[in-house]
């Protein structure tokens, strides 16, 4: 086991070639300027969507807490049913 680890650790990795394969240009293997601009636009758009989603979730949660506090101040859910003038029993 130790011998295998020693062999793997001392075996040199093949050196990368500094040039492209024949028939390829740099424009064919890199995204270029338009790729960078499109990727940056998607990142900014996703960030704005996440911030908006968090804001909306926080707003809904706050409204639910305010509604619960209002119902608790009125005396619970029974006070709402009794407060409608007996329309539920008609």
Q: Are 81 and 88 in contact (CB under 8 A)?
A: yes
**pLDDT, mean of each 10-residue run, the chain (90 residues):** 73 67 77 92 98 97 94 72 51
Q: Which residue has the tokens 């011998």?
A: 3
* The token pair that represents 23 in the structure block: 């028939």
What are the domain boundaries of the chain? Answer: 31-73
| Radius of gyration from C-alpha coordinates of the chain | 33
* The token pair that represents 81 in the structure block: 């049913």
What torsion, rounded to 10 degrees, do the Cα atoms 7, 8, 12, 14 define?
A: 140
pLDDT value at position 29? 79
pLDDT value at position 31? 83
* The token pair that represents 3 in the structure block: 């011998």
**Separation between Cα atoms, residue 82 and residue 79, nearest integer Å:** 5
The answer to whether the predicted template modeling score (pTM) of the entire model surpasses 0.75 is no
pLDDT value at position 90? 47
């Amino acid at each position: 086991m130790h011998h295998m680890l020693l062999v793997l650790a001392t075996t040199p990795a093949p050196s990368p070639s500094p040039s492209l394969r024949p028939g390829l240009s740099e424009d064919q293997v890199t995204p270029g300027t338009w790729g960078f601009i499109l990727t940056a636009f998607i990142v900014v758009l996703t960030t704005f969507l996440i911030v908006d989603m968090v804001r909306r979730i926080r707003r809904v949660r706050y409204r639910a807490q305010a509604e619960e506090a209002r119902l608790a101040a009125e005396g619970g859910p029974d006070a709402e049913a009794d407060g409608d003038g007996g329309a539920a029993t008609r």
